[in-house]
């Protein structure tokens, strides 16, 4: 059944009617009535009136950071209607009072983040506007010797006046006047782009250009370590592979010309898909000397993800940011398919499960979850749409949709979609209509109504009565919804495992079973999405079956591992943490890891084992768990396991024995399992645990770092290691205003150290002010930072006092009307999502 259809689901006729009404209304609105940001109503009316846009931009970048970046804009566009004034979006520092429209001067009135172009000066057809302006620094990421612009979702307007909405695509011609010795690169200038995809970068960079498959590829980078720089060749190869794969799959050649990317230190995202000037974080491109298979796979998937955006997002763009997930889902979905080719020896069904299920569930099981498609009334809160639901759950949904339609029909639908909307905009509804026409039997619209427009994940239970297995989905939010999908139950009868597939056309499904099983294993192939309950009578049998089959990367055993872990969490949510059940699961996972030879399964086992350390309240029990993991980190036959366990312990170990061993490891500085980033993280942790040696540890680690970029980062973060609580408090307060968190990953690391579990009493004081600041933080930060801030703040708390503080903060604010809708409701979801672990963790003994 369908609940409320969110506001954005309007068809073109209604949109046009709304637009005409809005145009009529606008005629009566004064400038001051324009709402800051980019309101949907404004975007709808503008998209009807304006077309054929070109921005000619010239920026002057001074070498002194204290001086602002200034610019000149020549904006030309076609206008259909001159009855009302036309707002341009601008939230920069300043605009020169006198501008020109069609060669005649006009007074540029600038209020509420808009410059109003007076209708008397405009004409039907071509208009040319000239403006001189001063940019705000917010989205320019300025450093002493480089800068890069990053405008997603709607921050181009903080740098130059523009129509900052995704469906007013334009040509961008950009020139930069930069200090001597700087190199620069701008995004593609040959095809139309939405403002959020326009970008420029300038500074002291090295450049490397190669040709792959007849195509020029260029990288800009600051890295100086020759071993890391040498990895660029592999990155070019992987980009070329992704391009070839996408050209074949979509039956369209690459939509943009030269392939260029910039590798940035301290970058706030993994990557961003500006055509011709893709941005990547150096952390995921330049791997240390001993990369794990996971790191290699993550790098390929990152490159493939940003490359897939050239088709999905860059060439065909969502009309409004409520559909931003459509570009992200295809980027991730295609990246998974591309990885299948590059790593043929890997079990990709298992890899798909591993890549998406745990992270999707990590949001979907919390009270802060939301639907894949979310309503959006103003682009100034578009950043809050991003998160695990659009990046991780949406590909799972898309996988199920591909199964329902069949892979050939699915690909044919995508090809038609790309052809129909090339270099233009489309909505999810447009794609649903195409999918419905190529595969009417798949009931795509009904599928989408639940999976895309409703929040939550079903809890799926079963019972066996006689020879009938009844499987039931229940809706955690009591709306009587069910999620159309298939799930398979494994029946263990003697030596054989009989798969029984249930097809959810209703919330409850009955199937006849051919034998009376000793054990029933829910979701045996991992194809179902839900919280699959294992009955008490089957728990031992499921655990034993998993232990027998987990020696290599076996999809079924991996799926049982996920289900057992989810059942542990379900039980903990309902009954509170029990040290006995944590110890039992720890034991089971340790035994499984000891036997496991599969890299992918082992990596999830390591992650789950580390998470259980946090959920243990008994100090003695925790110490012995740490020792067991430390022993495994020395003895396990898989190098990746030894490495991952060492890295985990380097961040969290507190027992005397293990921290002592880690300290000796850090002093020796010759363990080939660890790279310099690992040693740096270990140094931060040891400096907290061993306050007497803090100064020595930090000074030594600083000396080990080779580049000034690394040292700058270290000096910023290492301040959080001080044992002086007054200095800790001052540092915490300095992170709240925008000026204290200009490089967001550094601020996140510093906050995380300030909130380390070893400093819980002091860290409890940060909870309220850090939550109070969240609205301002959202408004002044990049899109992922509010979530990172909340996670750094709350992940490590154990005390009843912390739980009480956060619970009452949530209760106080939820009572206020302002927090029940729009921006603040979305922020409340982020808070609840990140408070998940804290809210059911018991007080430390
Ligand atoms: Zn993306």
- For tokens 């076996």, the residue is 554
Residue 822: predicted pLDDT: 79
**Window from 167-181, 197-211, 338-352, 823-837 with minimum mean pLDDT:** 338-352
Find the radius of gyration of the CA atoms of the chain: 27
- For tokens 């619970």, the residue is 807
Q: State yes or no: pLDDT of 259 exceeds 60.
A: yes
Ligand 1 midpoint to CA 827 (Å)? 21
- H/E element holding 456? none
Residue 7: predicted pLDDT: 31
**Window from 80-89, 97-106, 283-292, 424-433 with minimum mean pLDDT:** 283-292
Tokens of 463: 């019972």
Ligand 1 midpoint to CA 302 (Å)? 9
- The beta strand positions in 371-507, using DSSP E, are 424-426, 459-465, 468-474, 486-493, 496-503
Ligand 1 midpoint to CA 384 (Å)? 15
Task: Tell me if residue 470 falls in helix, strand or coil.
Answer: strand
Residue that wins the pLDDT comparison between 25 and 428: 428
Q: What is the pLDDT of residues 497-550, one digit of tens each?
A: 999 999 999 999 999 999 999 999 999 999 999 999 999 999 999 999 999 999
Q: What percent of the chain has pLDDT over 90?
A: 84
Q: State yes or no: pLDDT of 21 exceeds 70.
A: no
- The arithmetic mean of pLDDT across residues 570-577, rounded, is 88
What span, in angstroms and rounded, lies between the C-alpha atoms of 715 and 591?
Answer: 41
Ligand 1 midpoint to CA 309 (Å)? 7
Q: State yes or no: pLDDT of 722 exceeds 90.
A: yes
* Pairing mode, strands 424-426 and 316-318: parallel
Q: What is the pLDDT of residues 106-127, one digit of tens each?
A: 998 999 999 999 999 999 999 9
Ligand 1 midpoint to CA 710 (Å)? 27
635 burial level (CB within 10 Å; 0-12, 13-18, 19+) = exposed
**Window from 379-393, 489-503, 695-709, 743-757 with minimum mean pLDDT:** 379-393
What span, in angstroms and rounded, lies between the C-alpha atoms of 595 and 399?
Answer: 31
**Are 172 and 74 within 8 A, CB to CB?**
no
What span, in angstroms and rounded, lies between the C-alpha atoms of 217 and 235?
Answer: 10
**Average pLDDT of the residues of the chain:** 92
Ligand 1 midpoint to CA 823 (Å)? 22
Per-residue pLDDT band at 27 (split at 50, 70, 90): very low
In angstroms, the first-to-last Cα distance of the chain is 47
Ligand 1 midpoint to CA 167 (Å)? 18
* Pairing mode, strands 278-281 and 259-264: parallel
Ligand 1 midpoint to CA 334 (Å)? 11
Residue 77: strand pairing partners: 127
Residue 22: predicted pLDDT: 45
Q: State yes or no: pLDDT of 4 exceeds 80.
A: no
Per-residue pLDDT band at 13 (split at 50, 70, 90): very low
Residue 617: predicted pLDDT: 87
Residue 24: predicted pLDDT: 45
Residue 845: predicted pLDDT: 44
Alpha carbon separation from 517 to 316, 511, 514, 533, 562 (Å, rounded): 51, 14, 9, 17, 22
Residue that wins the pLDDT comparison between 519 and 795: 519
- H/E element holding 773? none
Tokens of 441: 């039997």
**Are 13 and 353 within 8 A, CB to CB?**
no
Q: What is the pLDDT of residues 51-61, one digit of tens each?
A: 999 999 999 99
What span, in angstroms and rounded, lies between the C-alpha atoms of 837 and 797?
Answer: 9
**Are 101 and 122 within 8 A, CB to CB?**
yes
What string of DSSP letters covers 249-317? HHTS--SSSSEEEEEETT-SSSEE--TTSEEEEHHHHS--SS--HHHHHHHHHHHHHHHHTTTBTTTEE
Q: State yes or no: pLDDT of 17 exceeds 70.
A: no
Ligand 1 midpoint to CA 817 (Å)? 33
Report long-range pairs for 644-647 (Cβ below 8 Å, ≥24 apart): 644/292, 644/294, 644/602, 644/603, 644/606, 644/607, 645/606, 645/609, 645/610, 646/671, 646/673, 646/674, 646/678, 647/674, 647/678, 647/681
Residue 512: strand pairing partners: 468
Ligand 1 midpoint to CA 196 (Å)? 13
What span, in angstroms and rounded, lies between the C-alpha atoms of 791 and 748?
Answer: 9
C-alpha dihedral over 533, 539, 544, 547, to 10 degrees? 40
Q: State yes or no: pLDDT of 779 exceeds 90.
A: no
815 burial level (CB within 10 Å; 0-12, 13-18, 19+) = exposed
Q: State yes or no: pLDDT of 363 exceeds 60.
A: yes
Residue 559: strand pairing partners: none
Which string of b and e fits 364-402 if b means at least 16 CB within 10 Å?
A: bbbebbbbbbbbbbbbbbbbbbbbbbbbbbbbbbbbbbb
Q: State yes or no: pLDDT of 837 exceeds 90.
A: no
Ligand 1 midpoint to CA 306 (Å)? 6
Ligand 1 midpoint to CA 641 (Å)? 29
Ligand 1 midpoint to CA 244 (Å)? 19
Residue 26: predicted pLDDT: 44
φ/ψ (deg, to 5) at 256: -125, 165
Residue 841: predicted pLDDT: 59
Which string of b and e fits 701-716 if b means at least 16 CB within 10 Å?
A: beeebeeebbebbbeb
Whether cis (ω within 30° of 0) applies to the bond prior to 105 is: no
Q: Going from the N-terminus, what domains does the chain have, and what CATH number goes with each? A: 1-204 (2.60.40.1730), 316-451 (1.10.390.10)
Q: What is the pLDDT of residues 671-694, one digit of tens each?
A: 988 999 999 999 999 999 999 999
Ligand 1 midpoint to CA 390 (Å)? 10
Ligand 1 midpoint to CA 194 (Å)? 15
Residue 202: strand pairing partners: 147, 184
Ligand 1 midpoint to CA 313 (Å)? 8
Per-residue pLDDT band at 385 (split at 50, 70, 90): confident
- The arithmetic mean of pLDDT across residues 620-624, rounded, is 96
């Amino acid at each position: 059944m369908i609940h409320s259809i969110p506001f954005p689901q309007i068809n073109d006729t209604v949109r046009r009617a709304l637009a005409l009404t809005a145009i009529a209304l606008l005629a009566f609105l004064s400038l001051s009535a324009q709402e800051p940001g980019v309101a949907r109503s404004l975007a709808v009316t503008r998209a009807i009136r304006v077309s054929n846009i070109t921005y000619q931009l010239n920026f002057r970048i001074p070498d002194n950071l204290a001086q602002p970046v200034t610019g000149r804009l020549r904006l030309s566009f076609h206008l259909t209607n001159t009855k009302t004034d036309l707002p341009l979006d601008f939230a920069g520092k300043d605009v020169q009072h006198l501008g020109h429209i069609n060669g005649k001067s006009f007074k540029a009135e600038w209020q509420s983040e808009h410059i109003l172009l007076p209708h008397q000066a405009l004409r039907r057809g071509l208009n040319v506007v000239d403006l001189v302006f001063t940019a705000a620094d917010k989205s320019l990421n300025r450093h002493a010797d480089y800068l890069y612009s990053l405008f997603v979702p709607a921050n181009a307007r903080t740098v130059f006046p523009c129509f900052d909405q995704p469906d007013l695509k334009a040509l961008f011609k950009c020139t930069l006047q930069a200090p001597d010795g700087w190199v620069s690169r701008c995004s593609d200038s040959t095809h139309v782009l939405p403002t959020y995809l326009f970008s420029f970068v300038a500074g002291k960079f090295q450049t490397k250009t190669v040709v792959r498959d007849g195509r020029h590829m260029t990288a800009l980078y600051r890295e100086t370590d020759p071993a890391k720089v040498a990895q660029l060749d592999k990155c070019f190869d992987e980009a070329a592979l992704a391009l070839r794969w996408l050209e074949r799959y979509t039956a369209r050649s690459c939509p943009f010309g030269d392939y260029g990317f910039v590798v940035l230190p301290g970058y706030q995202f993994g990557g961003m898909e500006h055509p011709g000037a893709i941005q990547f974080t150096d952390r995921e491109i330049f791997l240390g000397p001993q990369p794990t298979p996971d790191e290699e796979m993550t790098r390929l998937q990152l490159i493939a993800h940003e490359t897939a955006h050239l088709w999905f997002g860059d060439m065909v763009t969502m009309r409004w940011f409520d559909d931003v997930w459509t570009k992200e889902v295809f980027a991730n979905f295609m990246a998974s398919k591309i990885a299948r080719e590059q790593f043929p020896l890997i079990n990709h069904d298992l890899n798909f499960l591993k890549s998406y299920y745990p992270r999707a569930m990590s949001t979907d099981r919390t009270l802060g979850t939301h639907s894949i498609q979310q309503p959006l009334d103003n682009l100034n809160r578009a950043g809050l749409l991003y998160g695990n639901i659009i990046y991780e759950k949406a590909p799972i949904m898309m996988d199920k949709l591909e199964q329902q339609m069949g892979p050939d029909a699915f690909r044919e639908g995508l090809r038609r979609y790309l052809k129909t909307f090339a270099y233009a905009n489309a909505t999810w509804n447009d794609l649903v209509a195409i999918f419905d026409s190529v595969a009417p039997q798949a009931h795509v619209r009904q599928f989408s109504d639940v999976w895309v427009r409703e929040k939550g994940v079903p809890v799926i239970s079963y019972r066996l009565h006689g020879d009938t297995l009844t499987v039931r989905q229940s809706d955690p939010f009591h709306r009587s919804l069910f999620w159309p999908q298939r799930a398979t139950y494994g029946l263990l009868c003697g030596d054989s495992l009989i798969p029984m597939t249930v097809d959810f056309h209703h919330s409850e499904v009955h199937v006849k079973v051919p034998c009376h099983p000793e054990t029933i294993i829910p979701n045996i192939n991992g194809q179902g999405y839900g919280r699959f309950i294992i009955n008490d009578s089957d728990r031992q049998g499921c655990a034993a079956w998993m232990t027998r089959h987990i020696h290599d990367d076996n999809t079924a055993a991996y799926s049982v591992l996920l289900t057992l872990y989810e059942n542990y969490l379900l039980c903990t949510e309902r009954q509170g943490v029990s040290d006995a059940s944590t110890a039992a699961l720890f034991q089971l996972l340790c035994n499984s890891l000891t036997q496991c030879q599969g890299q992918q399964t082992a990596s999830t086992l390591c992650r789950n084992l580390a998470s259980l350390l946090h959920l243990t309240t008994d100090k003695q029990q925790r110490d012995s768990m740490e020792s067991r993991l430390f022993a495994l980190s020395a003895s396990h036959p898989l190098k990746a396991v030894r490495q991952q366990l060492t890295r985990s312990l380097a961040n969290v170990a507190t027992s005397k024995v293990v921290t002592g061993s880690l300290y000796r490891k850090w002093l020796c500085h010759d363990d080939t399992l660890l790279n310099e980033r690992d040693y740096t993280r270990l140094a931060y942790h040891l400096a907290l645990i061993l306050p007497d040696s803090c100064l020595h540890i930090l000074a030594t680690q600083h000396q080990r770092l080779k580049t000034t970029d690394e040292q700058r980062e270290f000096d910023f973060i290492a301040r959080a290691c001080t044992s002086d609580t007054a200095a800790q408090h001052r540092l915490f307060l300095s992170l709240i205003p925008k000026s204290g968190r200009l490089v967001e990953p550094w601020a996140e690391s510093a906050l995380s150290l300030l909130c380390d579990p070893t400093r819980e009493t002091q860290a409890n004081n940060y909870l309220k002010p850090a939550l109070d600041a969240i609205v301002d933080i959202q408004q002044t930060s990049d899109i992922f930072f509010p979530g990172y801030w909340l996670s750094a703040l709350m992940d490590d708390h154990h005390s009843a006092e912390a739980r009480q503080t956060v619970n009452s903060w949530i209760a106080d604010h939820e009572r206020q009307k302002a927090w029940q809708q729009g921006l603040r409701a979305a922020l409340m979801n982020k808070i609840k999502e990140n408070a998940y672990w804290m809210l059911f963790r018991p007080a430390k003994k």
